[in-house]
Structure 1
Amino acid sequence: MIKGSATLEGTLNYAQKYPLLVYQPLVPTGIRISGAGFGCYRVDVRVKEHQQALTKALLSGINLIDTSANYADGGSERLVGKVLCDLITANKIKREEFVIVSKVGYLQGENYSLSQERKSEGQPFKDLVLYDKGLEHCIHPEFLAEQLTRSLDRLGIETVDCYLLHNPEYYLNWAKQAQVPKIDARAEYLRRIRIAFLHLEEEVAAGRIQYYGLSSNTFPRPASHFDFTSLADIWDIAQSISPQHHFRVIQFPLNLLETAGVTEKNQPGGKSLVEFAVDKGLGILTNRPLNAIREERLIRLSENVYQGEANRQANEFKSKVAMLDPGWINIPALSQLALRALRSTAGITAVLMGMRQEVYVEDVLHELRQPCEVVERKKTWKHISEL
């Protein structure tokens, strides 16, 4: 078991080793993180190439790791644990230099089997969302406690730096299908989040996590949508628990085709999600930088995956976007432009990038080493949304 957690001193010392990279506080005056994090969605401890990629990232200036209990059915967390243990044992890194984020909520694979066993014994998890065959969801404190124990064991650490509720809006999706009235569904949704937050404060006090937060694909949705997750409501819950609460981080999709996190005015006072989060001092982690979902279709923001007419269209889109902002001109690849757009926008703390191969890690590092001005860019994102 690796002792300790990320610290301000440790992350500042790490940052000093890589002067060409920019590190920002995850929380005000707190631990520092690299502009891009190693996203662990499709990595597994059984794949040597993934181990090599994570090792390269951690030894090259990337000190943020984002994983989840359900990624590769636990294999993603095991990968992080193995690489950390190997590098710390070899005295190449220190635990206090790295920020580890994990998430909880999904019951798939091993967790789904566990859920079925408990049901057969007459002890199902409480507040369980029966979403689909082979897929359930839960954020009840009993489940959170059990899952955090398993995550810490797979990661081989005593403290997760940030623990996120993973897409709790699955309850709202279920409620809509079940024809629960919207007002009732919203009240129940917030009740479930509140008792989850109360439990996570206990986990902070116990030293098993430093901070907690929420990862939701529906943070950027219009407020009128049934499955909209209101950051203002979530913030009010945290404030009602304690002014010294540890709700400090949000995560959501933001990319050149999914711009709503910046452009949709879905928070009080006509503010966007990013504006509201910045006002409250929340750390903002964005995901899906290269994998946009539009009209239920996955669109890759990289011209390298397209041929013929599709390649031409990707390059044309890149040219149109680059012309919208002086800081984005002359960037050679669409994937690099996609990262530049995010990291040059004020308020974005870090971009979670899939880096399953060492060459992907180097591509990300190449962009991170390029200087760029970080400003608001609201008008630019609005123009992008109109392309």
Structure 2
Amino acid sequence: MINLENLSKIGIGTYRMSIENNNHREALEYAIDNGINLIDTASNYQNGNSEKLIGKLIDSSLRENVFIITKAGYIQGDDINKLSSINKNKIVHINERFYYSIDKSFIELQIKQSLERINTEYIDCFLIHNPEHYFDVPNEIQKDIDQHIIETFQYLEGLVNTGIIRYYGISSNHLPDPSLKNFGFENLLKLRNQFPHFKIVQFPFNLVESNASLKLYNSNSLIDVCKQYDIKCISNRPFNTIYEGKTLQLIDHSFELNNINEEKEIELFHKMLNLVQNRLHEIGENTPIEEFTPIKYLIKNRKLIANEAALNEVIRRYLFPFLNQIELADENTFKIISLLQNEWRLFIKQNNKLRLTSLKEKMGINENEDLMKYLYDLYLTQGVDHVLMGLRNKKYVDNILHLL
């Protein structure tokens, strides 16, 4: 088994990786072959298919050479059908597609499922996944959140003794956040002697989101107190952040602004609108085209979408269902939309480049600096122990090998 001190500085974050994608498997295998031994996943990532990807790749001969982190707390997808087996008093109903719990009954269920999906007899580290969700809606658990986490830690410490897990900790997008009343990270540290295997804390840390380095704990930062108690700090979102209210990739892509052909995009967009308008007339629908939500959104925002994931969401969840509803889901329409997507991806890159350039100027970063190396070195010098990266393709692995 890999010792905590021997983990690679770069870890693989598998949030968007799935067993259903062969490129993801090749990238994961390639990364491991090149010295990355830290793999981060969660029970809800891709509805369990992220864990299954790891299980398919990590056979018994390789298991001892990788350190696998998984998490639980989110009740989504297939797990919603298993609510009857969970302590209802400790479940928070966020919305119809999202419940949350870190109660023993749910953690027990999730760890059992994770072991099966990863095809392993033990988990190297199990993390409570974003307990701040207990503050999303009013509930009784909030006032006793510290005690709730302590009870979960006690359960996890017991699992260490049985060999099911080796270590445990917390993954949170809001640590540190003094506004979350009763969620006192310091209280957990005061009880550190009761939880000797509490060894890892995961949080966002990047050029914009750097609260973990601020002196919020009696003149100490979150990173400082973790160092004092021998707790490893893992940064997620090292190259993605929220800036000026939108997602921003902190990566310099080779992209020239003159790659944008606005006339071509306008021509394609009007072709799509004409197809929709003609179809509406055919079915006797007299509502103005711009009043249909997907069309209205694209008219106003198609050049302002922040990232490709958001673009895909708009098309898959809103535009395609609308086209199906008016029976316009034909080959010609899909071809035009595919061409439009290519143009809209260029707008995304353009906007990202402009906003990143603005941020770099604001932060005093030289435009010719190797930004990835600059950020990676910055995070490590500020006390982060490991940096998670979404290496979904072999070319992404190649791009970071010089950092190793």
Instruction: State the structure with more CA Rg.
Output: 2
Following superposition, the deviation at residue 301 of structure 1 comes to 1.3
Alignment match, 1:348:
384
116, 137, 146: which is aligned to 1:190? 146
Aligned twin of 1:165? 128
**Offset at residue 259 of structure 1 (A):** 1.2
Q: Distance in 2 between matches of 1:195 and 1:48?
A: 40
Which residue is 2:180 aligned to? 226
Residue type matched to 1:343 in 2?
Answer: L
Distance 1:40 1:127 in 2: 28
Corresponding residue of 2:71: 103
Q: Is the 1:169–1:227 contact (alpha carbons within 8 Å) kept by the matching residues of 2?
A: no
Contact 1:126 1:142 (8 Å CA) reproduced: no
Deviations 1:140-159 (CA, angstroms, capped at 9, x unpaired): 11111111011001001111
Q: Offset at 1:228?
A: 7.7
Are the equivalent residues in 2 in contact too, given 1:219–1:230 (CA < 8 A)? no
CA distance in 2: counterparts of 1:336 and 1:322, whole angstroms: 16
The 5 Å alignment of 1:1-387 reads 6-8=1-3, 26=4, 31-85=5-59, 88=60, 94-115=62-83, 118=84, 124-175=87-138, 185-186=142-143, 188-221=144-177, 223=178, 225-226=179-180, 229-239=183-193, 242=194, 245-263=196-214, 265-267=215-217, 269-294=218-243, 296-304=245-253, 307-308=349-350, 310-318=352-360, 321=363, 323=365, 331-332=369-370, 334-345=371-382, 347-368=383-404
Distance across 1 between alignment mates of 2:350 and 2:113: 47
Q: Give the C-alpha shift of residue 172 in structure 1.
A: 2.2
Give the conservation status (yes or no) of the 8 Å contact 1:219–1:229: no
**Structure 1 residues 313 and 296, CA, compared in 2 at 3 Å: closer, same or farther?**
closer
Give the alignment's TM-score, normalised by structure 2.
0.71
Q: Distance in 1 between matches of 2:9 and 2:55?
A: 22
Q: Is the 8 A contact 1:219 1:228 kept in 2?
A: no
Instruction: Tell me, yes or no, if the aligned pair for 1:159 and 1:209 is still in contact at 8 Å.
Output: yes
**CA, structure 1 residues 202+48, in 2 after alignment: closer, same or farther (shift >3 Å)?**
same
| Cα displacement string for residues 172-192 of structure 1 (whole angstroms, at most 9, x for unaligned residues) | 2223xx5x7xxx834x10111
Contact 2:169 2:200 in 1 (8 A): yes
- Report deviation, 1:202: 1.1
Q: Which amino acid aligns with 2:172?
A: S
Q: Report if the CA contact (8 A) 1:41-1:71 is conserved.
A: yes
The AA in structure 1 aligned to 2:201 is I
Distance 1:307 1:364 in 2: 20
Question: How many corresponding residue pairs?
Answer: 311
CA contact (8 A) 2:206 2:379 kept: yes
Please say if residues 241 and 250 of structure 2, whose CA atoms lie closer than 8 Å, have aligned partners that are also in contact. yes
Inter-partner Cα distance in structure 1 for 2:51 and 2:353: 35
> In the alignment, residue 79 of structure 1 is paired with which amino acid?
L
Q: Alignment identity in percent?
A: 31
One-letter code of the match for 1:173? D
Which residue is 1:3 aligned to?
none
Distance between the aligned counterparts of 1:166 and 1:309, measured in 2? 32
Deviations 1:58-95 (A, max 9, x none): 0001000000000000000000111112xx55xxxx32
C-alpha change, 1:61 and 1:351, in structure 2 (3 Å) is: same
Alpha-carbon offset, residue 132 of structure 1: 1.1
Measured in 2, the distance between the counterparts of 1:295 and 1:58 equals 36
Does structure 1 retain, via aligned residues, the 8 Å contact 2:167–2:199? yes
Give 1:133 deviation, angstroms. Answer: 1.2
What is the CA-CA distance between 1:355 and the residue it aligns to?
0.6
Assess, with a 3 A threshold, how the Cα gap between structure 1 residues 317 and 151 changes in structure 2: closer, same or farther: same
Task: Say what the alpha-carbon RMSD is for the aligned residues.
Answer: 2.3
Unmatched runs of 5 consecutive residues or more in structure 1: 1-5, 9-25, 369-387
Q: Is the 8 A contact 1:56 1:361 kept in 2?
A: yes
Change (3 A) 1:196 1:60: same
What's the TM-score once normalised by structure 1's chain length?
Answer: 0.74
Native 8 Å contact 1:108 1:134 kept in 2: yes
Which runs of no fewer than 5 residues in structure 2 stay unpaired? 254-306, 308-347
Give the match's secondary structure for 1:38.
strand
CA deviation profile, 1:88-117 (whole Å, cap 9, x unmatched):
55xxxx3222111000111000111222xx
CA distance in 2, matches of 1:55, 1:303: 26
In the other structure, the counterpart of 2:265 is: none
SS at match of 1:69: coil
CA–CA distance in structure 2, aligned partners of residues 303 and 227 of structure 1: 39
| Residue identity opposite 2:369 in structure 1 | I
Which amino acid counterpart does residue 350 of structure 1 have in structure 2? H
Structure richer in helix, relative to its length = 2
Match of 1:19 in 2: none
